[in-house]
Amino acid sequence: MKRFQHHVCYVTGASTGIGRSSALRLAEEGAALFLTDIAAEDLEETAKLAREHGGDVETRICDVSDETQAGEGIATCVERYGRLDVACNIAGILRFAHTHEMSFENWRRILSVNLDGVFLTCRAAIPHLLETRGAIVNMGSTAGLMGLPYGAAYGASKGGVHALTRAIAVEYAQRGLRCNSICPASIETRMATPEFPKGVDMDLLMRPASLAGTRGPDEVAKLVAFLASDEALHINGEEIRIDGAALA
């Protein structure tokens, strides 16, 4: 399939995991890609792989939580390609802590990347996406739909992403812009294997995954591509779980 022939797709968090898999899937389907991350070496590896899949690829080091960098990333993409059709907000961080022991610094960092970064990228991208009647795909989480023990900041950030997604969808639907979020669980990525604080009840933490098992990030990339494509033209403002029935 070449659903993204002549389309320009902007992907944050493209260095590894779901971001990398999504970039490769979009490249396979004909997209021109503008990929961003803060991990330069891994980002270039993603770009290399995407080019091998036939993609026209540009990269930029970008901290999505920085207002200037987020805005310049989108501006540079549009300057390079002349248009923007899809924005995929996949950059994110996950840190566990007992809530009563979490530092405000860690709380703010998680919220700034996972929520502020999505807002800043969307804000910069929306004027260009309105011109192409394009799509936004935000990476939420089942942690934004249920309680995640030891993950209060992460869950709060993803709940915010879901609310932001719905607001954008309603505000711009009549102008042809779609915005959806994806809620993965039990996906094998580098981010899914963080350090845990002492005293964590792993049975409590891993209970949803015990039913679902685990899958690779390619499974999520398929859904990213679908929601970004014209096949999903009537899907807007949704939070779509991809969790193997963990929350069913």
By CB atoms closer than 10 A (0-12, 13-18, 19+), residue 175 is exposed
- Phi-psi region for residue 192, left (φ > 0), alpha (ψ -120 to 50) or beta? alpha
Contact status, residue 14 vs residue 36, Cβ threshold 8 Å: yes
Element (H, E) at 228: helix 217-228
Identify the sign of the CA torsion 72, 227, 116, 172. Answer: positive
Q: Which of 10, 81, 150, 154 is catalytic?
A: 154
138: which DSSP letter? E
Q: What ranges make up the beta strands (E) of 62-163?
A: 86-89, 135-139
User: Is residue 154 among the annotated active site residues?
Assistant: yes
Just list the catalytic residues. Answer: 154
